[in-house]
Amino acid sequence: MLFWLSGLAVALLTGVAVSVYLWWVRRRKDEIAAGLHALSGLRWREFSRLVLTALERRGMAVVAAGPDETRDPRGIFPLTLRGQRWLLSCKHGSAYRIGAASVEELASSVRLGNAAGGILATEGQLEQEGRIAAQSHNIEVLDGPRLWDELAPLVEPDLRQQIVGHAAARAKRHIAIGWLGSVAVGALVATALANSGLGVEDPAAPATPVPAPASSAAPAANPVAVYREPTEAELEEQRMAVSRALSGTPGVVRGVWQTRLTLVVDYQGDETGIWSRICQQVELYPALRTVRVQLNPPAGSKEPVRWRQCKTI
């Protein structure tokens, strides 16, 4: 009876630990990831307006800018806070991995504009050298969880509720699976403890003959290659490799990742011949074969924008 109580204790402890992690840690990460993905689907102007509204809630005031600044996605937004001038730069797109160069660019604008500091907002990620540069130049970085915490109250209620509800439903589903696994672990522990206490052989039972060892070992089977899902860091490297390869592909002007699952390609010439070259680069990486490719025709062309996939599931 004691071993069943031990198994029950193991199942309860494991289930509680898994539930706490999935609800308080993993659910939060899923909510942030879904929120940033939704923000990346906005236009640059809409994204910048959300960031400006969030900063106004802090007490900052937006200084009226010229028409060129409001239309240029690389524009700098001047702000004021308690009589001091600040500059805001928005890097729109979840595929951004910002290094020191973008931070130094904003820092240069801060110095030239005689501003107290700068704010860099992006759905992407700031690399370590970028964070070091930001700290040395009094530049606040809004990325990842910090950006979502600032903008979440400003997102449309229906969309925000959908994001929160999806993350909660996913967490509940995984918690249920976790409890099933915990029960299985508890049963295995109880069975192992029970067998360890009943492992005495019956002296009257005939001894089980031990088979003689084989004269020669069977040849080892040929190893089979097993596909392994790449990590998020590996996926990002693969996306960057595709962008670099496309930049040197004939007929392709550029290839950039709008989201984790959408590749935007600007091309010149005949789409039919260029499409095979695009897929040749994308299909080098199994995890990217089913991404959506947005084909933007040359400027002035009457061809429409197309969305295609090299491979379908």
Q: Where in the sequence is the domain holding 88, given as residue range(s)?
A: 44-141
pLDDT tier, 56 (very low <50, low <70, confident <90, very high otherwise): very high
Contact present, 263 and 282 (Cβ < 8 Å): yes
Say which residue, 220 or 79, is predicted with more confidence.
Answer: 79
pLDDT at 76: 86
Residue 187 resides in a domain: no
Radius of gyration of the chain (CA): 28
pLDDT at 147 > cutoff 70: yes
Average pLDDT, the chain: 83
- Type of residue numbered 7: G
Q: Is the pTM of this model over 0.85?
A: no
Measure the CA–CA gap between 159 and 260, rounded to whole angstroms: 20
- Type of residue numbered 156: E
Residue 273 resides in a domain: yes
Measure the CA–CA gap between 79 and 120, rounded to whole angstroms: 13
Residue whose pair of structure tokens reads 């109880």 in the numeric block: 190
Measure the CA–CA gap between 122 and 148, rounded to whole angstroms: 10
**Token digits of residue 93:** 């797109």
pLDDT at 209: 54
CATH at 92: 3.40.1350.10
CATH at 260: 3.30.300
The lowest-confidence range among 20-29, 126-135, 212-221, 273-282 is: 212-221
Residue 148 resides in a domain: no
The lowest-confidence range among 9-23, 66-80, 114-128, 233-247 is: 66-80
Decide which of 86, 106, 141 is a domain's last residue. Answer: 141
Measure the CA–CA gap between 137 and 85, rounded to whole angstroms: 15
pLDDT at 73 > cutoff 60: no
Q: Which residue from 297, 305, 258 is spatially nearest to 42, judged by alpha carbons?
A: 258
**Token digits of residue 111:** 């110095």
Decide which of 141, 172, 191 is a domain's last residue. Answer: 141
pLDDT tier, 66 (very low <50, low <70, confident <90, very high otherwise): low
Residue 295 resides in a domain: yes
Contact present, 245 and 265 (Cβ < 8 Å): no
Q: What is the pLDDT of residues 170-226, one digit of tens each?
A: 999 999 999 999 999 989 988 988 888 654 344 444 555 555 554 444 454 455 556
Its sign, for the CA torsion 137, 143, 146, 147, is positive
The lowest-confidence range among 52-56, 168-172, 257-261 is: 257-261
Vertex 227 angle, CA 223 and 229, to 5°: 150
Decide which of 93, 125, 141 is a domain's last residue. Answer: 141
Roughly how many angstroms between the first and final C-alpha of the chain, as a whole number?
51
Residue 3 resides in a domain: no
pLDDT at 71: 44
pLDDT at 148: 92
pLDDT at 284 > cutoff 80: yes
Residues with Cβ within 8 Å of residue 98, at least 6 apart in sequence: 91, 120, 122, 124, 125, 126, 127, 130, 143
The CB density around residue 214, as the number of other CB atoms within 10 Å, is 7
pLDDT at 223: 53
The lowest-confidence range among 12-26, 162-176, 280-294 is: 280-294
Q: How many separate domains does the chain show?
A: 2
